[in-house]
Chains A and B, each alone.
Chain A
Amino acid sequence: MRKSIAGFAAAAAFAVVAAGCSDPTTAEAPDSSSSAGGEMAAEQWPAQDTSRDGVTLTIWAAQNSTQTAESVATEFEELTGATVNIETIPDPYEQSIQTKVATGDMPDLAFWQPTASMLTALNAKTNLQPLDGAPWVDSYTGSLADMTGLLDGTRYAALVTTPAVEGVYYNKDLFEQAGITETPSNWDEMIEDADTLKAAGITPFYEMAADRWATQWWVQVQLADAAADGLWDRVNANEETFTDPTILGAIENYKSLIDDGYFNDDIKTATFIDQGNALLDDEAAMVMQVNSYFGQLQSLTDSATLDEKVGFFPISPSGNVGTFIPDQSNAVVAFATGDDEREATARQFLSYWLGDGYQSFVDTVETVSLQDGVESPAGVPMALQEVAASLDNSVGSMQALAIANPDLYIYLADMIQGTKTPQEVAEATQQQFAEFAAAQGAAGF
């Protein structure tokens, strides 16, 4: 009896292991890009109002993007007869999605960070539909079309809202109080302004090391010039590392600014929420942040007050070049589910969203338009318009241009807490980067 149970258990376990030892997502993706000819192109990008009765699309969204697609989904349902379900996936969103997709569970569409590293993390070449030749690509303003959403030359993500830009949100009142009339036009001028503020008894910068994630912006904006010069290409090829002078220097510089008292005293325990309050309550003059920070400010006060009180300028060592970092709420990817009709409907939905439905979309969610022929609504706050305006000459962040996204922010937070030196931060980041790159099979690692 005992033997037979043990035997059964072992056999069952072996069977499951043998069956399970292949990745459920391995199944060949239907290669829709191989379709050739005009007829096939029409099939690839169906007319926006093609009837889709009985087709159900599922969209995965994070807590902060779940409202974004609501209005456009409703309009699409009315237009085509399709049903669009938006499912909110709990945070940490990216981790949940990666795990689900790795186990073979996938929606038709999902909000996703459109950077090469995050597309790689989703194994885009197997799991996502290529969006090459999409009808909306030519309508993007400026260089938006080439900026992001691409992996090895193939488009996998559709940008729907303005990518975030790393830059400085500043308190206009405090600048005025310290006698600063113009925003700085390069890094050194910003530090000079910080000295002026400090002399006037005002804390120049506010950082939130307890919540950790914003620490990396300080290093990344210092790398803007180098990034324009191909820094991340060299890092991707393992020709340059985080421990080399460029990146290590930026980390050391950040550390010395903290040590020299340019930041809030409670930097170790301050949180994202504290950071929002600090700028509005005149506790500090400048905050290095991205768009979601402005969202936090909007939740604290009205647009008129913000227009009056808070401004934005991009910064880089040599000028006012922003560092763009598209996030999950900015773009949508379509999955290769293997169901031809649903895949086509998903592409059609994107065509509608960024086509006939785009004006109504930007009006409803009050965001900056990404398209030439579509006007931004009047209600978009000034700082956000400044952010959008800085996009055109901006350069890519580590997330946008590097093939992997190491936990630089955690190590920097460790540095602020005093458990890592700048050298150790660089080493830990490089080690992790190399691990990711090796897992991807990148050349040189």
Chain B
Amino acid sequence: MTTTLLPARRKDQPRDARLADRRSRQDHPSWFLWPALAMLVIFFFTPTIYNFVYAFTDWSSFKSEIGFVGFDNFVKLLQNGSLLSDLRVTLVYAILVAIFQNLFGLGLALVLERDTRINRFARAAFFVPVIMSALAVGYVFQAILKPDGVLNNFLTTLTGGEVSIPWLGSTTWTIVVVAIIHAWKWMGLSMLIYLAGLKTINEEVIEAAQLDGAGYWRIFKAVRWPLLAPAVTFNFATALLGSMNGFDIVQATTAGGPGGSTELLNIFIFRTFGQGLFAQATAMSLVLFLVVALLAFPVIIYLRRRERVL
């Protein structure tokens, strides 16, 4: 897209400039775009458009014909309580993940800020979960958090009394536990972005604050935190919107249980699709798409505005 992003050639430009302009255009022939564009169209645009089209049909595994049914699927979904309750669960989950992931990531970035050998190693270590398979992470935590799992055994040894807390068995708190697992998996990424943000802060500003007699917390609150605003925007938005699409970790740890208290919309979609109600599942994923889009704009606009104010 480079070529199209250049300013349009203006008549009043000097001839040399126009020539240079043309030459720079010729540096990047438009067909360079085609492979990437083809990938984008085939693997992104097309499925998205299908997602819009099939949501208005009665496509299912039960019969061969596909007919348009208008807004039927959406009407039924709204009548069915599951959609709204799953959307609520999804929203709560996303907010929890965004909070935890940023807390963990920022904490790690501050602790591992200095470029010592140990810190470099620790940064790499905390980044490992990011590149791990989410399903594997889910299954590992499921084993750790079982009533007779590693965590309870550890707590039993620590406290001396028998501890058998069903970490994944509470209809109230399990969603928090699962959100923490999600945040744990992705905190390395947030840490990296916060580290990059901290590095961009001018040393002189910090020095000036120190000369003014500000302590660590005062500098953090008044200088570094405001200057980290772009990193906060990125981290918070990606964590929130990314976990709206969460599926793998929750599927592996609780599969939506106990009692549907961690049933994200994607798990519901997966279940519906697997039962052969393809059109209904598509309609749900369209709803999710719209909700994420509707959420994205105000969140990003708010965080951007916040950057400017700070």
Contacts and interface: CB of A to CB of B under 8 A. Distances in A.
Interface of A: 1-2, 5, 8-9, 12-13, 16-17, 20-23, 25-26, 92, 94-95, 98-99, 101-102, 120-123, 126, 209-210, 212, 266, 268-269, 405, 407, 410, 413-414, 416-420, 428, 431, 435-436, 439-441
What are the 10 A-B residue pairs with the smallest beta carbon separation, nearest first?
A: A95-B274, A417-B259, A419-B259, A417-B258, A269-B166, A269-B169, A440-B62, A414-B259, A26-B64, A439-B60
A17 B49 CA distance: 7
Nearest to A271: B146
Given A95-B275, A431-B80, 20 more contacts: A5-B37, A13-B45, A16-B49, A21-B66, A22-B66, A92-B274, A102-B61, A121-B276, A123-B62, A212-B255, A407-B271, A410-B260, A413-B258, A414-B259, A417-B169, A419-B260, A420-B260, A435-B277, A440-B60, A440-B62
Given A123-B61, A266-B147, A414 B260 contact: yes
A418 B61 contact: no
Interface of B: 3-4, 30, 33, 37, 41, 45-46, 49-50, 53, 57-66, 76, 80, 82, 146-147, 166, 168-169, 171, 255-261, 271, 273-278, 280
A413 B169 CA distance: 12
A294 B187 CA distance: 43
Nearest to B40: A9
Contact of B46 (A8, A13, A102): A13
Given A2-B4, A417-B171, A439-B276, A9 B62 contact: no
B45 A268 contact: no
A5 B33 contact: yes
9 contacts: A5-B37, A9-B37, A13-B46, A21-B66, A209-B258, A210-B257, A417-B257, A419-B261, A436-B276
Contact of B3 (A1, A92, A98): A1
A230 B77 CA distance: 31
Contacts of A95: 273-275
Contacts of B76: 435
Contacts of A13: 41, 45-46, 49
A405 B275 CA distance: 9
B63 A441 contact: yes
A80 B261 CA distance: 55
A117 to B, nearest CB: 10
A212 B257 contact: yes
B259 A420 contact: yes
A377 to B, nearest CB: 36
Contacts of A9: 37, 41, 45
B65 to A, nearest CB: 7
Contacts of B273: 95, 99
B259 to A, nearest CB: 3
A234 B139 CA distance: 42
Contacts of A16: 46, 49
A123 B273 CA distance: 15
A440 B33 contact: no
A419 B89 CA distance: 14
Contacts of A23: 59, 64-66
A12 B274 contact: no
A269 B45 contact: no
Contacts of B53: 17, 21
Contacts of A121: 61-62, 275-276
Given A22-B66, A435-B76, A94 B274 contact: yes
A122 B60 CA distance: 10
Nearest to B270: A95
B193 to A, nearest CB: 32
A17 B260 contact: no
A13 B43 CA distance: 11
A1 B4 contact: yes
A283 to B, nearest CB: 13
Contacts of A26: 64-65
- Among A23, A101, A440, the most chain B Cβ lie within 10 Å of the Cβ of A23
Given A94-B274, A407-B271, A126 B64 contact: yes
B61 A268 contact: no
A210 B254 CA distance: 9
Nearest to B165: A269
Contacts of B259: 413-414, 416-420
Nearest to A102: B61
B280 A435 contact: yes
A153 to B, nearest CB: 18
A70 B82 CA distance: 43
A53 B271 CA distance: 42
B276 A413 contact: no
B258 A210 contact: yes
A419 B171 contact: yes
Most chain A CB neighbours (cut-off 10 Å) among B46, B257, B274: B257
A63 to B, nearest CB: 16
B276 to A, nearest CB: 5
Contact of B166 (A12, A92, A120, A268): A268
Contacts of A94: 274
B147 A123 contact: no
